[in-house]
Amino acid sequence: MNRVELETKLNEGRNWLLAKYALQNEDELRRPLTVSQHDPENHWNALDHLAHMALVERNFNDTVRRHFSGSANPVGFMIDGEGKPRTRDEIMADVHADTEKWQLAHHDKTFTEVVALTAAMRGATLQLISELSDEQLEEVLPTAPWADGTIGGVLGANADHGHMHWRWLKEAGLGDEVEDAT
């Protein structure tokens, strides 16, 4: 994915997602919709899902920075301390625990605050992209399970992530007054 395609995908994906969220009223944004994958007693609302986008985007940026700093294991959670591949269950248990911490820390934020949180992370992503060459965007990120595994593909997956969560919210019953194109 070249630089223009990457930035277009990220900007269009964010604009699409924000437009969907902006159509929802406060009750819809705050209503418990999905069961936490870490603690079944905890339920996520639409704003929790939006705030989650910022966590993943931050983590992807950190992974890319570790890669370019020379880390032998930039993704981190795919390989254990002894250099052996971790099981999917081990990986997902850690991912869900980290996600839950983030969700609890940001659960009471307003829609405007969550939009600002995601804007800050998207700004950091665009800044990171501006620091990378076209060749660096095409580099493969070792063990990355996202997109095509290239730096550009991984960073572009942030747009796909928003579409995926919106689909889950719709399946959970979130109202939407505009016909979905996805």
Q: List all residues 6 or more positions away from 90 whose beta carbon is below 8 Å from its beta carbon.
A: 80
Backbone angles phi, psi at 23, to 5 degrees: -75, -15
pLDDT at position 92, please?
A: 85
Mean pLDDT, range 26-42, rounded to an integer: 93
> Residue 107 corresponds to which tokens in the numbers above?
């659960």
CA-nearest of 51, 50, 55, 33 to 42 is 33
Reported as a single tens digit per residue, the pLDDT across 51-88 is 999 999 999 999 999 999 999 889 887 777 787 888 88
CA-nearest of 126, 153, 160 to 16 is 160
pLDDT at position 150, please?
A: 96
Residue 174 half-sphere exposure toward CB, CA atoms < 13 A: 30
* Predicted confidence band of residue 180 (pLDDT cuts 50, 70, 90): very low
Domain boundaries, the chain: 3-171
Fold of 3-171: Four Helix Bundle (Hemerythrin (Met), subunit A) (1.20.120)
User: Quick check: 24 pLDDT over 80?
Assistant: yes
pLDDT at position 143, please?
A: 83
Q: Give the angle 159-61-113 at the CA atoms, nearest 5°.
A: 65
Mean pLDDT, range 91-97, rounded to an integer: 87
pLDDT at position 10, please?
A: 98
pLDDT at position 136, please?
A: 97
* Predicted confidence band of residue 20 (pLDDT cuts 50, 70, 90): very high
Reported as a single tens digit per residue, the pLDDT across 105-164 is 999 999 999 999 999 999 999 999 999 999 999 999 988 888 999 999 999 999 999 999
CB neighbours (10 Å) of residue 56?
19
Mean pLDDT, range 22-46, rounded to an integer: 94
Positive or negative torsion for Cα 133, 138, 143, 145: positive
**Per this entry, what is the length of the chain?**
182
Q: List all residues 6 or more positions away from 100 whose beta carbon is below 8 Å from its beta carbon.
A: 36, 38, 39, 42
State the pTM of this model: 0.90
CA-nearest of 93, 3, 97, 109 to 46 is 109
